[in-house]
Every structure is written in C-alpha cells, then in structure tokens.
Amino acid sequence: MGFFDYITKIDFSILYYIQEHLRCSFLDFLMPLFGFIQEGGMVWIVISIILICFKKTRYCGFAILLAMGIDTLITEFTLKNIICRVRPCNYNDLKISIDMLVSRPDSYGFPSNHSASAFAAATALLVTLKKKRWAILGYILATAIALSRLYVFVHFPSDVLVGAIVGSLIALLVCFLMKKTGFKEFLIHKNIIER
C-alpha cells in the first residue's frame, strides 16, 4: 500500500463518519453556503476592496489579494494538475451512498484551493492588522469554509489540511516580501484614491 493509498483510507474513514453521524438538515443548508461565498474568493475580494479604500488597512487588502492570487496559481493551476488526485465524490466504489449537496467538480482535488485561499486571506489578516480580533474572525470563517468542503464530500481531509498550510505559507511569504521590498510603505503613504 502506497503513501497516498494509506492517507486516502484514513481520509475516507473521516468522510464516512461525517456523512453517517453529522449530517442534518441545518448543516445541509449551511455548509454549501460556505463553499458558495468562497467561490472565486468573492468574500475575500470584497473584504480586500473595502480594506484598500482606507490608508490604515490598505496593506492588508493588497496582501490578501496578492496571497490569494499567487495561491490560486500554485494550487488550482499547478499542484492539482501535477498530483491529479481524484476527489472523493468522483470515486466509483464508495462504501456508502452519498446525497450530494453541490454539483460534483470535475477538477482534481489536491490541495483544496477553497481552503488555501481562505487560509491565505486569514493569515494576511493576522500578519497585517493590529487588531487581531479580525484575524480570529478570519480564521473562524476559513475553518468553516475548509470543513464545508469535507461535509459536502468534494475534498478529502488531507486536501483541506495541505491547502490550509500552503495558503498560510504563501500569505506569510507575500507579507514578508511586501515589507522587504518597500511595497508596504509605498501603499501606506500613497494616496491611491484621490478625491
């Protein structure tokens, strides 16, 4: 048994547990919404645009957008197509019947870009904002988005975990480079929105 086979066996046991013991009508309604608001990173893009409008939070807004953009290039367009891991919902030999709450994606699943982008944004909030309560809210939302991917059966737990790690690391790197290159100071002192 190879490494991915071993991990997949553990992943399926977690997913089956969720499907058999945690499914309920409230979560069946709620969990797909988390995936929907993260689709295309829309929730974070809206937050970023609002943050960019204010000098005090402009660095944070740009850090979120850059981290999510780089993350999407790496996870969605590169890693998924190199690793080619099939999503759990697309396996033919499932041990239980799955009532899908969302359409079955036809792209590969490893790593989860929903999770990577959400954790990239939350990490950018943590690194760039003085008031850490916003970062805590960001991590709560990112965690809900990641868990929703398991609940709706479109990702394995390892897809989500690696996505969260990759997204967080990319955000840390983006924030570090923005500081080192002087781009952070440029954003803080530049009047981007002229009246």
| 75: phi then psi, degrees, rounded to nearest 5 | -80, -55
- What contacts 19, CB < 8 A, 6 or more positions away? 96, 98, 153
The pLDDT value given to residue 2: 77
Kindly tell me the burial class for residue 189, based on how many C-beta atoms sit within 10 Å of its own C-beta (0-12, 13-18, 19 or more).
exposed
Name which of 70, 74, 79, 72 is nearest 178 in CA terms: 70
Domains in the chain, CATH or no CATH each: 3-96+106-189 (1.20.144)
- What is the block-wise mean pLDDT of the chain (195 residues), using blocks of 10 residues? 83 93 92 84 90 87 94 93 90 78 86 94 92 90 94 94 97 90 65 45
Map residue 13 onto helix, strand or coil: helix
